[in-house]
Amino acid sequence: MAQRSYHENTFDRNARCINVGSKAEPTWFPADHLKIVEWQIVKKNLPEPYVAAMIDATKRPHQSKDAIKETGLAELGFLEKSPFYKTFGIIPDTNFVEIKAGALAAPILLLSGADWVPALDGAWEMKFKQYRKPGIENTTLYFLSLRRDEFLEQHEMEEATHTLARSLEQFGLDQVKERVFCQAIVPEEKVDSAVHRQTCPETFEKALGSVFRSTRKVPLIMVVLPERNGKLYPEIKRWGDCVKGIPTVCVVERNLSGGGDRARCGNISLKFNLKLGGINQEVSNGYGTKSKTMIVGADVTHPGNEEGCPSIAAMVAIDDDSRFQYLGSARIQEGKQECISDLRGMMKERLLAWAKRVPKDEWALGGVYSQILPNHIIFYRDGVSESQFGMVQHHEKQQIFDGCSDAYTELKLDKSIQTNAFPRVAKREKWKPKLTLIVAIKRNHARFYPLVLEPGDPNLGAGTIIDSVVVTPNHFSFYLQSHCSPLGTAKSTQYVVIYDDQNYKTEPKEIMNITNKLCYTGAHASKALSVCTPARYADMLCDRVRCYLKPVLEGYRDKSSTDDVDGTQRTAVYEENKLVWKPNTSDILPDGWKHPWHPSIGNVMFYL
């Protein structure tokens, strides 16, 4: 009896338990006997109030510089009370290294017709300007408003979207003649993410039923969310991308209140134009590349720590060097694997997309693949560290060339492009473009400051270039701060040239300027990106695929994927699962289609 009383007084039989182990090997502890350790890194998206607080707490450059000088050596283990490092002849210096920096000029950006705009401090003004090329004709806007409670009146929805409609017209898109509004109550958020994925499409389909029953083609749907919602957003993107094959643009309801802020509506308009196949801006005088240069970006992300959760590999590439539309390929692969498993297959897909953009009359007139396919490929590989340069050099580089060979072989067998000139083409045994392979390292530890830095001073300007002293000793490399950072300390991206057929090392400013100009082709904001566009877009495509994998990230496991299968087999199972990867559509998929999205958006930058 005494023992029972002790347990009743000491433990709460209704207390919840927390698994501090894994799904495969769970270890359960009562929650009231656990303590959350302070200062842990949050690896998920922060709630909005915390995001605002984090931005307010961001250190200015002089604060960051002072903190590094005061605590940096101690953080690295250089302590006066334990000077073991002196035995090895290491003498740390408390002063910063002085480096001579260069500056790259910002490009002039071309807009509609002969219109242009300068980029100042890494940004440009679109007021009273029109996009370089408007997207496809779209005189009707389709809205899906997801509500928590009662529906809005018609006039309320019209008022909320008025500024957006006018903004689209101002930037050169077709005059909005009709706005179609549909509403639905937000689906109940199921604990089981797999069940949630099955119920959400039913809600969306029911709300838009009258639209889909009409004969009109729906080019794009704008979805109005009641608030930022980490469970609802992935389901909208999965439904639009993989079920219906319709690009979607999401906006939080409060951002449209009072008709919508003009600047915010301007940013939404940028996405509208891109997803309708338009071009927002171009760089004057070209990018400094030779004719028929293909720009490629690739990335790998590891979205979950759970055993059996796959990694995501993505590639984006332009399909025409006269229009910078980055179309994508994606794969899932064994979890925690940094090397891209099917880089070869994705490279082939991007080259075939390039070939399909070439008009058939050019095939007939040219008749030589070297005049049709890219002469040069500039490939930006994101997401690898210095210790993985060898992997890129010895494994991924060969996959790129193998993908080129595969694309060439398939084109030779494609009867749809065989013309009178084709037999001359077929006699060519090889086609091998020049390759420049560059690793873009965003998460480096270098920070650069002006020599004299006072409180209130800004960061170094956009276009700052560092190519000496602190660069890698065995590769041609440079640091580029392409953007302007009004908050915090600006972080430069390090670019390391792993392989270079073009021999840019003899004229390093060429590839530096190309990379800097590419940072101004980002099309989802009127600002230069902190990392070049192809690398950033590959990262964004990985983020979009993460939405599709949401059930897996929250513990869903395919019944046919047991614990005793290896990562490759488990990945193959997920590739056939319509809740996770395979497009959940009744439409017939093209032969060899390996992407999770619907084929109808394969030629659209839907992932922005």
- All domains in the chain, ordered by first residue: 2-50 (no CATH), 134-275 (3.40.50.2300), 282-597 (3.30.420.10)
Specify whether the CB–CB gap between 187 and 200 falls below 8 A.
yes
pLDDT tens, residue by residue, 460-477: 899 999 999 999 999 999
Residue 39 tokens, joined: 């200062």
In this prediction, residue 411 carries a pLDDT of 83
In this prediction, residue 425 carries a pLDDT of 46
Catalogue the long-range contacts made by 302-308 (C-beta closer than 8 Å, 24 or more residues apart): 302/335, 302/336, 303/546, 303/549, 303/553, 304/335, 304/549, 304/552, 304/553, 306/22, 306/23, 306/552, 306/553, 306/555, 307/22, 307/23, 307/24, 307/335, 308/335, 308/557, 308/561, 308/563, 308/567, 308/570
The Cα 207–Cα 551 span in angstroms is 24
Average pLDDT over residues 317-333: 90
Catalogue the long-range contacts made by 210-216 (C-beta closer than 8 Å, 24 or more residues apart): 210/182, 211/142, 211/180, 211/182, 216/140
In this prediction, residue 117 carries a pLDDT of 92
Q: How many CB atoms lie within 10 A of CB 304?
A: 17
Q: What single DSSP character describes residue 500?
A: E
Q: How far is CA 541 from CA 230, 271, 315, 535, 537, in A?
A: 17, 15, 8, 10, 6
The Cα 361–Cα 351 span in angstroms is 19
pLDDT tens, residue by residue, 101-152: 999 999 999 998 889 999 988 999 887 788 888 887 777 889 999 988 888 8
pLDDT tens, residue by residue, 235-264: 999 999 999 999 999 999 888 876 567 778
Average pLDDT over residues 11-37: 84
In this prediction, residue 565 carries a pLDDT of 62
Average pLDDT for the chain: 86
pLDDT band at 342 (very low <50, low <70, confident <90, very high): very high
Specify whether the CB–CB gap between 404 and 345 falls below 8 A.
no
Provide φ and ψ at 223, rounded to 5°. -105, 125
pLDDT band at 1 (very low <50, low <70, confident <90, very high): low
Specify whether the CB–CB gap between 448 and 464 falls below 8 A.
yes
The Cα 223–Cα 253 span in angstroms is 9
pLDDT tens, residue by residue, 81-106: 778 888 888 888 888 999 999 999 99
Average pLDDT over residues 533-550: 96
Specify the DSSP element, H or E, that contains 495: strand 493-500
Q: Assess whether pLDDT exceeds 70 at residue 562.
A: no
- What does 32-68 look like in DSSP terms, one character per residue? GG--PPTTPPP-SPPPHHHHHHHHHTPPPHHHHHHHH
In this prediction, residue 420 carries a pLDDT of 44
